[in-house]
Amino acid sequence: MAKTKEKDIGFPVGGLHENLAFANQPHRTTADAQNVRAYDPNSGRSRGGQRPGLVRHINATVNSTNSIQDINHFVTYSAYSGATTLSQRSIKGIVVAGGTIKTFTTSYATPTNGGSALSSSAPVIYSSRFYDDIYFVDGTNTKFYDSSSNTVSAWSASAGTFPVSGSDYPRLIATYNNRIILSGLNGDPQNFFATAVGTPGDFDYSPATITSTIAFAGNSGGAATIPDKINCMVDTPAGDTLIFGCDHSIFQMSGDIAAGGRIDLISGTVGMAWGRPFCVNPDGMVYFFGSRGGIYAMASGMAPRRLTSDRIDERLATVDMSDNLVTMAWDDRQQGVYLFITPLDGSATVNYFYDQRNDGWWKDVHATAAMNPIGVHLYDGDTEDDRRILLGGQDGYVRAIKMSATNDDTATISSHCYFGPLTMSRTVCVEELYAVLANGSSDVTFELYSGPDSENAFNSTAVRFTGTWNAGSNRPRRPKTRDTYIWIKVKNTTASQAWAMESIRAVVSEGSRLMRRVFSQ
């Protein structure tokens, strides 16, 4: 008599795991999943379901169909507006598309001198907040937005000389210790330039009176020298360290060089990709894309730790950094990291999400390639809709990740997840399947794939059994599918739907060994 037993098939909360053989798929991981999360976005429960979708932050393009080059925001304070209003914060966004700078709250507006203020051909532009103003660099222009006058003006040196090499200007910018730090200068890529404290126009490195607040540069020698090309700069939340991600190394500035600070080597083998391929969580942990691929995590002063080495490393090893822009963002609601890999030619791509709570990676594919972002920014307002990640698309729209959204804008989110493989010491027969979906969940289709070995079963296109599960507890389904290995695929490809799963339970029996024939050519 066949040996029968029940198996609880939990959601693979550990995410993608592509390090081992298909037959050795680790417990609670999956061989493939797309557009799903271990935590249900609507309830916050660890039960698995479709990822949150995208909505337009404002239902209009910024500058026709021009790609979004940068997004930022600034905060001002005002008097109480009413007896029931607590906050004095007033948040306003600023965005660049086609070289034009615009502000936004509920609509886009061009400030004085904002039209065509920056390069329209730069694939990406970076900016940094300094008090209530925003400073921009694009390699050919240096401008700043004055929020008090709603005016874009030229950013020039009030003392000393603005960093320039021929006709090239810096492309990287950060704010650190009440200074603006510039880098990314062609012809001088290992150098950085720090303005005087509180004075963004002061680049005088040798004033008549030497104080701890004067400007300084990396080529001044001594403690400030960095012997590697600077690819990015990371201002940590603590405010007392600035990380220089270089071509094949990482350095950390601690304190202020003009006030006895220092620069230390953190890693002599791991570098960072160019631009802003990083994000920082509230605890100060820095996540970044390495200059040779892979995602790393690094605490202040500590050596970086590779997060993808035993999960999805091979996927990231093939990213061409010359024509793909890498950006990252920390998501407080989902407690994890978004990794966006955007081809500059507008072609399709695969993005990823790292679930810090489960140490799991998930694959995301946007409904259209135009949604893959150039500008990525964490918008930090008072309301739920003003506390979300903004994505500047290549079609001119700024979209936001919204937990309750069931589409990517108006397009379908196609989601699926593989469970398994199911196997026993001999052949396995799936006698019954029970599933419980979350209350209010959309329907899902489930499919069974089988084969003589795990990889062939996973890659099979022949559906051995299919059915539909609805919200709540479902009646037992009896597929009677028998083979050496069996995978279960759960999917939803319908617009304006989202699903979440409580549990799957299978009743399986063990059969006799399959007779196999070996054919020789």
| Per-residue pLDDT, 306 | 96
**Ranges of residues in the chain whose predicted pLDDT is under 70:** 1-2, 78-88, 221-223, 238-239, 382, 385-386, 512-521
Residues 442 and 502 in one domain: yes
- Report CA-CA distances (Å) from 186 to 140, 168, 171, 279, 477: 11, 6, 9, 25, 65
SS (H, E, C) 435-500: EEECCCCCCEEEEEEEECCHHHHHHCCCCCEEEEECEEECCCECCCEEECEEEEEEEECCCCCCCE
One domain for residues 35 and 84: no
Residues 82, 31 share a domain: no
Q: Is residue 188 part of a domain?
A: yes
The answer to whether position 129 is within a domain reads: yes
165 assigned to some structural domain: yes
Question: Quick one: 145 and 285 in the same domain?
Answer: yes
Tell me the torsion sign for CA atoms 17, 37, 351, 449.
positive
Q: What is the pLDDT of residue 235?
A: 87
Residues 268 and 183 grouped into a single domain: yes
Beta pairing, strands 193-194 & 216-217: antiparallel
Count other Cβ atoms within 10 Å, centred on residue 20: 12
Q: Give the per-residue pLDDT at 40.
A: 95
Residues 22 and 90 in one domain: no
- Output the pLDDT for position 517: 34
Same domain, 249 and 339: yes
Residue 376 domain-assigned? Answer: no
Tokens at 474, concatenated: 């479902």
Q: Tell me: do 41 and 85 sit in the same domain.
A: no
Same domain, 331 and 476: no
Look up the domain containing 197 and give its range: 77-348+356-361
Residues 12, 88, single domain; the answer is no
Q: Which residues contact 483 (CB under 8 A, 6 or more apart)?
A: 427, 428, 450, 451, 452, 457, 464, 514
Query: Are residues 233 and 100 both part of a single domain?
Result: yes
Q: Which of 361, 382, 404 is the last residue before a domain boundary? A: 361
The dihedrals phi and psi of 316, each to the nearest 5 degrees, come to -85, -15
Q: Which CATH number belongs to the domain containing residue 168 in this structure?
A: 2.130.10
The answer to whether residues 93 and 222 belong to one domain is yes
Number of domains in the chain: 2
Reported pTM: 0.94
In 3D space, the residue among 118, 137, 119 whose CA is nearest the CA of residue 128 turns out to be 137
Sole residue written with tokens 């202020």: 256
CATH code of the domain in which 33 resides: 2.60.120.260
Residue 521 located in a structural domain? no
Q: Is residue 58 part of a domain?
A: no
Is 261 inside a domain boundary?
yes
Residue 410 in domain: no
